[in-house]
Amino acid sequence: MVTIGSVFFCLLILPMRLPGMDILGVGPNWLLIWMVAWSISRSPFESAIAGLVLGLLQDSLTASFPTHALGLMLAGVLTARLQQRRFIQEDLISIALIVFGLAVITETAMAVQLSFQYWLGDEPLHASLGTIWQYHQRVALSSAILSSLWAPALYYPLKRWWERYKVSE
């Protein structure tokens, strides 16, 4: 119940722009933070499924293209693989660094999708490739900074709850 509730909480606060919680109009990627917290102790397959579900939920709140599912699936799989190989520790600094890097990767997945749409010419975009990638730089850096700063605030309570749940099983 807490897991599902925390996902819906992240979905609800995703569009919020409280004072001090945005840079250049971009806020923290709460679903990415949740994805990292979930994937750190799961398999790549479970993480990919969670990323797909979270991405589709986020797409339901926004436009369906470009999809968020691709970036969140990639983030989940990469986090799970890093943990399997023991490249990371489960401390707050490591989590913040992982979230920073994965925020850049998820935003790059969005920019690549927009670039393919522009290149294929399926639907007319009102931006050039240069504009897409300039915007991507601002969004990716802003999202990465804010998401990594807010990651411990979401990661720590979720981790504690999931550890307590495992012990009670």
pLDDT digits (tens, 9 = 90+) for 113-147: 888 877 777 655 666 777 888 888 899 999 999 99
pLDDT score of 2 more than 70: yes
What pLDDT does 24 receive?
A: 81
Q: Peptide bond before 28: cis, by omega within 30 degrees of 0?
A: no
Q: What is the pLDDT, as a whole number, of residue 146?
A: 93
Count CB neighbours of 162 within 10 A: 18
pLDDT tens by residue, 22-81? 788 888 999 999 999 989 888 999 999 999 999 999 988 887 788 899 999 999 999 999
| Beta carbons within 10 angstroms of residue 77's beta carbon | 18
SS3 66: coil
Contact (Cβ atoms closer than 8 angstroms) between residue 93 and residue 51: no
User: Which stretch of 100-114, 128-142, 143-157 has the lowest confidence by average pLDDT?
Assistant: 128-142
Q: Are 122 and 5 in contact (CB under 8 A)?
A: no
Confidence bin at 168 (pLDDT 50/70/90): low
- Which ranges in the chain belong to alpha helices (H)? 2-13, 30-39, 44-61, 69-84, 92-120, 129-168
Cα gap 51→56, rounded to integer Å: 8
Contact status, residue 149 vs residue 31, Cβ threshold 8 Å: no
Mean pLDDT, residues 82-91 taken together: 73
